[in-house]
Amino acid sequence: MPPARLKLPSGVRRQVKARKSTQMVPNTLVIMPDIEIMAQQQESMKRNAEAKKPDTKLAKTVKTPPQSLRAMTLKNYGPNGQIIGGGRSVSSNTSPASETGKPIGVKPGNKKVEVEEDLPTAIKNMGGKVVETIGEGSLLTWVVQFENTEKFLEAERKLTFDKRIASLQRDFLFHNNGAIDPSSLNDPYIASQWYMTALNVYGAWGLSRGSRNAIGVLDSGTNGRLKELENKCYPGYDAVDKNLLQADVDGHGTMVATTAAATADNGVGTAGPATNSVIYPVRVGYADGTVSVAAILRGILKCGEFGVKIINISSNGDPPFTFARKEYNRVLHKYLKWYHDEKGGLVFNSAGNSGTRDPSNLQPYLIVVSALDEDYSLAYFSTYGGSIWFTAPGTNIYCSDRDGSIVSVAGTSFSSPLAASIAALLWGANPGMSNLDIERVMIASCRNAGARPWNRYFGFGLPDAEKAMKAVLGK
C-alpha cells in the first residue's frame, strides 16, 4: 500500500543540467490580431479615402453618420488583409467616432492606433510574411516569419505595443520531458507497474474501468497499430505537416499513449489506468524531440473541434520559459483558456525535467504535473513551483515504444499522462460530469505531504483513483 503522506524534499536536491537556452522557430512570431480594432481601422480608412474624393455634387448635402457605423459587422481578416468570413455585429453604442466621440481605433483607456496602413501591410513593411492562419473569430492567429533577426526583433518591439494586436509571442520550440533508462491480470509487466498501486488504480477498477472516452495525445505521433492500442486509436492529425496521416516520428508519443491507456488483461505488455479509453493522436513534434507553439495551437484547435475532452502535452520549456508562464506564452494561453472554458476540456502538461523551481503561477486552465519516485519523494529531475496542480509517478514507468518493444522510462512526460488517465477513467465512469467537477473530485482525493492542501512540490498531491471513483459514482 502507498504511504498516507508523501515525502517533502530535504537538504540539497540533486540538480539536472539545464539547457543553455530555450529554442524557437527562427525569426517567427505568433500573432493574434484584435479583429474589433482592425474592423474599426478598415472602416476609418474607407471613410478617409471617400473624404478625399472630389465632391462633384452642386447641391448642398447633409452629412450623416454612415449606417455601417451603427451596426458594423466584424470580419475575420486573412494574411493579406482580405475578409475571409463573417462575425458578430457591433451595436451603435460601440461604434467609433461619430457616436461615441472616440477616435477610430481606440480601446477604452488606450492610446489611439495609427490608421495610415492596415495591420497586414504594416507587418509586410516590417519585413514579415504571414505564412499561416490558424483558427478564426476570437482565435484568429497568424504565424509570421521575418526576413532576418534584426527585422524580427524590431518588429517584435513595435508590435508588442500595437493596440491592433490582441496577443503576441515567439514560436518557441519546447522539448519532450522523458528519457529511456537502462495479480490476476495477464499483462507480463503488470507486477512491475508500481505506479498502478501508488495511484490506487486497482481499487478504482473494482468499481468501474471507465468507457471509450478520448485522450488527445499531443506529441510526436502515435503508432496505433500496436497490440496495446488495437481498436482504440483514431487516425488523428498531423499538426506539423497539416494532414490526416500522422505517424510517430521518434517514439515518445507512443510511450505516452500506452502509459495512459494500454489495454489491460490482453496478455501483452503493460496496462494503462484508462484502459478502456481511446487515443486521439496529434503529431506536434519533430524527430529531434522539439515541439513548436504553432503546432500545439493547431492540435488544441483540432481536439476542440473533434470533441476530445482531455489533452495531454508531455513537453515543456525550462524555467522561466514554461507553458505556465503567461508573459511568454500569451497566445498559447488564449487557446488553453478557450479549450477549458468554451469546450469544457482539461489539459494536462508535464512540469519539465529541469530539477529547478518554476516561478510561474497556478493556471486554472493548465494542469501541470510533477513527478514522484518510488520512495514517494519528488523525483530528482522534476521541475516544481507555483504552477503545479498534481504529482504522479515518473520513474521506472513501463510502456511500449513505437516498434512494440517494452521500455522502462522516466520523466514528467509520463507522470502527466498518468494523471490525465485518472481523469479519463473518472470521466468515463460518469460522462455527465463537467471538467470542473473532475478537477474538484481529483483535488479532494489527493494524498499530500502534510496538513496543507497545496505545496510547490506536489501541488494538491497524488490522486487516489479509488477514492475519486467512489465520489463520481456517489458511493
Percent of the chain whose predicted confidence (pLDDT) is above 90: 61
Question: Is 137 in the same domain as 245?
Answer: no
Q: Chain-centre distance of CA 160, in angstroms?
A: 22
209 to each of 30, 197, 255, 464, how far by Cα in Å?
41, 15, 21, 15
Question: Is 39 in the same domain as 100?
Answer: yes
Number of domains into which the chain is organized? 2
Question: Is 159 in the same domain as 179?
Answer: no
Determine the average pLDDT of the residues in 174-183: 55
Q: Helix 293-306 to helix 330-341 angle, to the nearest 10 degrees?
A: 10
What does the mean pLDDT of the chain come to?
83
Question: What pLDDT score does 185 carry?
Answer: 63
370 within a domain of the structure (yes/no): yes
Banded pLDDT at 26 (limits 50, 70, 90): confident
Question: Is 219 in the same domain as 243?
Answer: yes
Question: Is 146 in the same domain as 80?
Answer: yes
22 to each of 19, 115, 376, 455, how far by Cα in Å?
7, 36, 30, 27
21 within a domain of the structure (yes/no): no
Last residue of a domain, one of 128, 163, 198: 163
| pLDDT higher than threshold 50 for residue 412 | yes
List of E strands, 118-213: 128-134, 141-146, 165-176, 179-180
pLDDT digits (tens, 9 = 90+) for 214-239: 999 999 999 999 999 999 999 999 99
| pLDDT higher than threshold 90 for residue 179 | no
Question: What pLDDT score does 163 carry?
Answer: 87
| pLDDT higher than threshold 60 for residue 71 | no
Question: Is 255 in the same domain as 283?
Answer: yes
Q: Higher-confidence residue: 405 or 26? A: 405
Question: What pLDDT score does 1 carry?
Answer: 61
Banded pLDDT at 3 (limits 50, 70, 90): low
pLDDT digits (tens, 9 = 90+) for 271-285: 999 999 999 999 999
Question: What pLDDT score does 86 carry?
Answer: 37
> Of the ranges 96-110, 318-332, 414-428, 433-447, which one carries the lowest mean pLDDT score?
96-110
Question: What pLDDT score does 217 carry?
Answer: 98
Dist. CA 299–CA 303, nearest whole Å: 6
Question: What pLDDT score does 184 carry?
Answer: 55
Question: What pLDDT score does 40 carry?
Answer: 79
59 within a domain of the structure (yes/no): no
Question: What pLDDT score does 7 carry?
Answer: 77
Residue found under cell 471538467 = 435
437 within a domain of the structure (yes/no): yes
Question: What pLDDT score does 161 carry?
Answer: 86
Question: Is 147 in the same domain as 189?
Answer: no
Question: Is 184 in the same domain as 159?
Answer: no
| pLDDT higher than threshold 60 for residue 435 | yes
| Ramachandran angles phi, psi of 276, nearest 5° | -95, -5
Dist. CA 172–CA 169, nearest whole Å: 8
Question: What pLDDT score does 116 carry?
Answer: 61
54 within a domain of the structure (yes/no): no
13 within a domain of the structure (yes/no): no
11 within a domain of the structure (yes/no): no
> Which H or E element spans position 153?
helix 149-160
Dist. CA 104–CA 163, nearest whole Å: 12
131 close to 99: Cβ distance less than 8 angstroms: no
Percent of the chain whose predicted confidence (pLDDT) is above 70: 80
Q: Which domain holds residue 404?
A: 175-472
Question: Is 274 in the same domain as 402?
Answer: yes
Determine the average pLDDT of the residues in 128-148: 91
pLDDT digits (tens, 9 = 90+) for 156-175: 988 988 888 988 998 888 77
Question: Is 317 in the same domain as 250?
Answer: yes
Question: What pLDDT score does 235 carry?
Answer: 95
Dihedral of the CA atoms 465, 215, 458, 398 (nearest 10)?
Answer: 80
Q: Higher-confidence residue: 422 or 56? A: 422
Domain at 403, CATH number: 3.40.50.200
> Of the ranges 37-46, 73-82, 367-376, 407-416, which one carries the lowest mean pLDDT score?
73-82
Determine the average pLDDT of the residues in 136-158: 90
Last residue of a domain, one of 163, 183, 208: 163
Question: Is 353 in the same domain as 432?
Answer: yes
Question: Is 454 in the same domain as 317?
Answer: yes
Determine the average pLDDT of the residues in 356-378: 96
97 within a domain of the structure (yes/no): yes
Question: What pLDDT score does 6 carry?
Answer: 84
> Of the ranges 114-118, 293-297, 409-413, 449-453, which one carries the lowest mean pLDDT score?
114-118
pTM of the model: 0.80
Last residue of a domain, one of 110, 134, 163: 163
